[in-house]
Amino acid sequence: MQATVTVPERLEQHQVALYLLAIGAGLGFGLALTSAAQSMDVAVTPLLAALLYVTFLQVKATDLAASLRDRKFLAVVLSVNFVIVPAVVAALSPLLPADDAIRVGALLVLLCPCVDYVVVFAGLAGGDNQRLLAATPLLLLAQMLIVPVYLTLLLGDGRAAIDPEPFLWAFAILIVVPLALAWLTQAWAARSDVGRRAGDAASTTMVPLMMAVLFTAVSSQIPRIDSRFDDIAGVIPVYVAFLAAMTIIGLVVVRGCRLTPASGTAVVFSGATRNSLVVLPLALALPVGAELAAATVITQTLVELIGMVILVWVFTYAARRR
């Protein structure tokens, strides 16, 4: 007798199509109901935190400790993000529009590796999200220390001063709190049937939460891009070129380093995915052209969300063909 397919299983089977649907719905809502859509930006961070909580719920504390001992993986992921990525960004920077605010926003977002939803997308693509999760504190700390230096070198002046407070705030809200809650839930589940059922129920919300994050992020940000599209359209080809280049380079690097398929996928996604939602407050705090710099960062978010959904589909398809 054939087993009954549950609703969460059906959602997982069709998750790529559902994510594209969420992005399309967000675009339509943001363009049709501008005022209502812009007010939804306050929901992006709590939804993202909830999504990461559900993601972290799948990763045990003991697994994280073991992942940190994988020095080869950590060395590769740090090298990709802070040696190879800056070189690629430097090569692409002449293609950016001449406007100072646009250049600052684009360089800021491209130089900062993602520390939040990359864990989700890498996991969906079959990547080792446990090792990637273990690397997130190092990635965040390194970008706080190194990215201001790279920005100053690429811009050639002191306009790139960065306040670390937004980074620390984002790290606490999007990493520390969800991770702590996930571990508390795991401890509860180990001691109680009620806790186990609660953890299992939370785990079934992964796909709906990702759809909610995509819809909310896109719908709340598209009106700002629409009003300045002529100014920032020139960054879109650069963002697409960066995503394509880092995917190809990442695949070459992981093959050369002989990483496992799961670890290699995590490295590729880490190199290609940027810290757009976290660096947005930094762009808004810049002294020069904050609104235009923020719109430039938001544009990268939209390009990346679509790109990540495509990459998940490609990597999942490739894994099935192996």
Place of tokens 């339509």: 28
Residues forming a β-bridge with 274:
113
pLDDT for position 52:
82
Structure tokens at 137: 């504190």
Q: What is the DSSP string of 296-319?
A: HHHHHHHHHHHHHHHHHHHHHHHH
Confidence of residue 321 (pLDDT cuts 50, 70, 90): confident
pTM value? 0.80
Residue 116 dihedral angles phi and psi, to the nearest 5°: -125, -90
Query: Taking Cα atoms as reference points, which of 52, 84, 95, 88 lies closest to residue 213?
Result: 52
pLDDT for position 161:
53
pLDDT for position 243:
96
Q: Which distant-in-sequence residues (6+ apart) come within 8 Å of 263 by Cβ?
A: 70, 73, 127, 128, 131, 254
Please give the torsion angle defined by the CA atoms of residues 222, 280, 205 and 193, in that order, rounded to the nearest 10 degrees.
-160
Average pLDDT in the 139-154 region? 83
Query: Taking Cα atoms as reference points, which of 66, 167, 189 lies closest to residue 116?
Result: 167
Alpha helices in the chain (DSSP H): 7-13, 15-32, 34-38, 44-56, 61-68, 71-79, 85-92, 100-111, 117-124, 129-155, 165-171, 177-191, 193-203, 206-227, 229-232, 235-257, 261-272, 276-284, 290-321
Q: What is the DSSP string of 12-29?
A: HHTHHHHHHHHHHHHHHH
For the chain, percent of residues with pLDDT exceeding 70: 90
Structure tokens at 322: 């192996």
How crowded is residue 175: how many other Cβ atoms within 10 Å of its Cβ? 21
DSSP annotation of 118: H
CA distance 298 to 292: 10
Average pLDDT in the 156-170 region? 62
Higher pLDDT, 184 or 161: 184
Residue 268 has pLDDT above 70, yes or no: yes
Average pLDDT in the 111-134 region? 86
Place of tokens 């790109």: 307
Structure tokens at 270: 């880490």
Higher pLDDT, 217 or 243: 243
Task: Check if the beta carbon of residue 194 is closer than 8 Å to that of residue 4.
Answer: no
Poorest-confidence range of 69-73, 108-112, 289-293? 289-293
